[in-house]
Amino acid sequence: MRPHIVCLPGFLGDVRVFEPFRRLAHDRYEVHLMGLDEAPPPVHAHYLTGSFGGLVAAGLPPQRIRSLAMVGTLPDARLIPRAVRVQSRVLRRLPSPLLEPLYLHHSRRSLAADGVELDSRGLDAETLRRRLRFVLEHAFVFPDVPTLFLMGATDAQAPTSGQVLHHQPRAEVGHVPGGHRPYASHPGPLLTELERWWRSLG
């Protein structure tokens, strides 16, 4: 039976961003693409998460998680910059006809900065508000499972190795080519690094 990998995207939540990684890994793994607002599949799996998806994974049942690899994820919600918290509160108050196109524009610009060709569909205003509220109010507790924090070499949003180890001293830290979404832009080197780490777990 092939090992399972569950891919959980970042804040913008478009699971299609994992398609390059899924296509590369599907010969050796069962790869599940899980939306941020979906229930996890009932399997014991390696989780691969992007950005905000890493914080979402912190709230999943640990008995479902074989290992947790988080790309560009903050190791503690207290590291969310104050300016981002203020911005989130302001955005939550915007009327839907303004909030939705604003985030669609941001999504497409962010993907393009990573060199990712994906025609983002955006998200509805209620989903965006729910996720903004989650960022501001949720208490994140990382599960006691093997944990790897990965940072893209050119990702300006990623934490430093020192920040990770200060807040998660039992975690491992690694670096891969690419920016905030290496599973889309550099799936080969990412899979190589993940397989090296999975082998080390025994």
Instruction: Quote the DSSP letter at residue 117.
Output: -
Check: CB of residue 6 under 8 Å from CB of residue 48. Answer: yes
For the chain, which residues make up each domain, given as ranges?
4-79+141-200, 82-130
**For residue 121, what pLDDT is reported?**
72
Structure tokens at 127: 């989903």
- What whole-number percentage of the chain has pLDDT above 90? 48
pLDDT average, residue stretch 30-39? 88
> Global pTM?
0.88
Q: Report which of 182, 138, 141, 134 is spatially closest to residue 158, judged by C-alpha positions.
A: 182
pLDDT digits (tens, 9 = 90+) for 161-178: 999 999 999 999 999 999
> d(Cα 12, Cα 131) in Å, to the nearest integer?
9
In words, the CATH class of domain 4-79+141-200 is alpha beta
- Model pLDDT for residues 81-116, shown as the tens digit of each residue: 888 788 888 888 889 999 888 888 887 887 787 777
Rounded to the nearest angstrom, the gap between the alpha carbon of residue 102 and the centroid of all alpha carbons in its chain is: 21
Q: Is the pLDDT of residue 151 over 90?
A: yes
Q: What is the mean pLDDT of the chain?
A: 88
pLDDT computed for residue 138 by the predictor: 67
User: Alpha-carbon distance 191 to 25, whole Å?
Assistant: 7
Question: Which residues lie across from 50 on neighbouring strands?
Answer: 71
pLDDT at 12 over 70: no
- What is the model's pLDDT at position 145? 93
